[in-house]
Each structure stands twice: as structure tokens, then as C-alpha cells.
A and B are shown apart, each in its own frame.
Chain A
Amino acid sequence: MTMVAYKNRAHPLWLAYIVHRLSGLFLALFLPLHFWVLAMAASEPGRLDGFLRFTEYGIVKAAEFGLVFGLAIHMFGGLRLLALEWLPWSAPQKTLAAAAASASFLIAALFLMRAFG
């Protein structure tokens, strides 16, 4: 097929789909590493401490941000999918629910930043 196929996908619903799937794949690939490091707490505590010193580096902090961001978008992507498929909401109801969820997420994030800031 010679036709450019990707243009077909340049709409928010498809982007929400691919972000959810790619973040899930990324988290699944990360999990073995996560468990490997966690297991050090039981088997080799000294090595774990050495490993945890890496968290002082800026690049590791940036990667941690990426991880939390990946978890957040995957969770909200999953909640979106569950609502989309299991709740027979009308389009305005979906918009209201998305607005309410993002507003409460924003308020909770601000509260958290105040609490630890």
C-alpha cells in the first residue's frame, strides 16, 4: 500500500490508545528491574545502599519523574478505558467526568506540593 497510513491515526482517541499501550509496555519492561533491586534489600543490603546512591544523580531523578509520569498516565488511561467501555455515558457526561478528574488531580497535586514543599 502506497498511501500514507499514519495520518489516519492523528486524532485524540487513537493517541489516548497508543499512550496507554506504550506506557503499559514500558512499565512491564521496568518491573523486572524494580523487583531485582527490591530483592537486594533481603539478599545484599550493602549492594542496595550502593545502588540507591544513584538516586542523587539528576538523570536518575529525571528518570524517576518519567516513571511516576508513566504510572500516572497508564492509570488514568486504564480508568478512561474502563469508563468508556463499561459506563454508557453520553458525550457531555464524559467531558464532565474528564474535567472533574483532571481538576481533582490538579488540586491533589497542589496540596501534595504544599505538604512537602
Chain B
Amino acid sequence: MSTDTIRLTIDRGSETQAFDVPAYESQTVLDVVSWVQQNADPSLAYRFACRVGMCGSCAMMVNGVPRWTCRTHVSKVVEDGALHVGPLRNLPVIRDLVVDMDPFFDKWIAAEGVHHGTRTRDDEIAPVDETSPARVEANSGIECINCSVCYAACDTVAGNPDYLGPAPLLRAWTLLNDAKDAGRVAILDAVSGSGGCHNCHSMGSCTAYCPNELDPMSAIAGLKRETMKHALRGRR
């Protein structure tokens, strides 16, 4: 154990509060935030669950960049012994580091990010060709765990609260490429509206910061192509 400390500044509503947290080897940002809650101020509100990068609930702004705090080592992001942590951008803050995820999940639904089944439980399971280009697209998209890092990174969401955002549009693109989903027209209509995929300016922050290394920007470009073809073919 070292005697060094980390100067941690936390955004708490309209104020910031600073804490000196003992530094350890292999410490994550979540460890540092947890130390404050357990040793300095039990009233600090923050979210986490799995601590291993599976649940996506511990995402916060760390030194200005959205990250999973459980998978971010302090040594990778600390600047002159200091860390600045805040709630995710682009979402309403409930308290301290906890944001209201409802607008984000509402947009998944608005983008038709729901399963549009083709068969009943009595039918055979639909065969899926794992090597088809569409399935390869869908296979990468299903790795999204809804952590909202891309949504917090997106400047277009910041400028237009109606914009569906990267993760909901990635979900729509995944379903569009899924042989088991029959919602093609509903999805294309949902993502071509005023808050749809054509708002995207291809700034690429979603792709740059996705902790799962997914590529929402290219998925949105795919939706732009498909909605355009759909319109040119007379909405078929």
C-alpha cells in the first residue's frame, strides 16, 4: 500500500466537492468513488452492480470523458494526481452521480428497438445463417449492454434532445439485420423521423468511446442508406 493520495473532485448538483482518497495499485475509478461513499461521505449517491464490465450501470464522466468506472484504471486517466468525476452527460441528474436513464430507454422503444416476432411458440425455430453479411452486422450490435456511454458522448444529443441517439439507433440497425425480426418497415419509419438517424453528423464520439468497441456511427450510416433506399422505392 502506498501513502499517496488521489485528489478526487465530484460534481454534486450545482456544486463540486473534493476528497483526498488513498491511492492503491490497480485501483479503478469505481474503487475511488466507493472509498468516498464508505469512508468520507455516506450520502454520496452513485450506481454500480457487477464491477466487471457486464452490467453497464457504473458509467460516469471521468475527466470529461464517459467511461465505465469499474473497467477504468485510475493510472490510465489520472492527471497530476487528480480525478474529476461527474454524472453522465445528456441525461437528467437524480442526485450526485446518478442519472435518470428513462429518456435513454424511452428512445430505444421510440426507435422500434423491440422484437417484432415472425413465429409463434408452436413453430420451428427460424434457421439463422451465421455467415450472412446481415447476421455479421447483427452479431456485433447485440453486444450492446445499454450503458449510455455513447449517448453521453454524443454532441448531437446534447444539441437536440429529440434525437434518438447512438445506442437506440444501433439497436434498430441490429434488428433490421436480424432474420428473426419482421419489423423492417416499422423500424425504418421510426428512425427516419425528425429525431432519427439523419440528425447524425458522424462526429464519431459514440464509436470512439464505446467500452465494448462497437461502432454505432457505422450502424447509423447503415440506417441512413436503408431509409434512403426505402424512400426511393416508394416505402417498400
Contacts and interface: CB of A to CB of B under 8 A. Distances in A.
Contacts of A43: none
B61 interface: yes
Nearest to A86: B225
B223 to A, nearest CB: 10
Contacts of B66: 8
A4 interface: yes
Nearest to B87: A3
Contact of B86 (A1, A14, A17): A1
B224 interface: yes
A6 B208 CA distance: 14
Interface in A4-33: 4-9, 11, 13-14, 16-17
Contact of A8 (B11, B64, B225): B64
A85 B208 contact: no
A35 to B, nearest CB: 28
B65 interface: yes
A81 interface: yes
A84 interface: yes
B205 A11 contact: yes
B153 A8 contact: yes
Interface stretch (B23-31, B102-110, B117-125, B196-204): B196-204
B202 A81 contact: yes
A8 B153 CA distance: 7
A6 B155 CA distance: 10
A5 B204 contact: no
A86 B84 CA distance: 39
A92 to B, nearest CB: 13
Given A2-B86, A8-B153, A13 B64 contact: no
Contact of B208 (A1, A13, A86, A88): A13
B222 interface: yes
B221 interface: yes
B34 interface: no
B72 interface: no
B128 to A, nearest CB: 21
A88 B86 CA distance: 36
A88 B207 CA distance: 16
Interface of A: 1-9, 11, 13-14, 16-17, 81, 84-86, 88
Given A2-B86, A17-B202, 12 more contacts: A1-B86, A2-B11, A3-B11, A4-B64, A4-B84, A6-B64, A7-B64, A13-B205, A13-B207, A13-B217, A88-B221, A88-B225
21 contacts: A3-B61, A3-B84, A3-B86, A4-B64, A4-B84, A5-B64, A8-B209, A9-B203, A11-B204, A11-B205, A11-B208, A13-B203, A13-B207, A13-B217, A14-B208, A17-B201, A17-B202, A17-B203, A85-B202, A86-B221, A86-B225
Interface of B: 11, 16, 61, 63-66, 84, 86, 89, 153, 155, 201-205, 207-209, 217-218, 221-222, 224-225
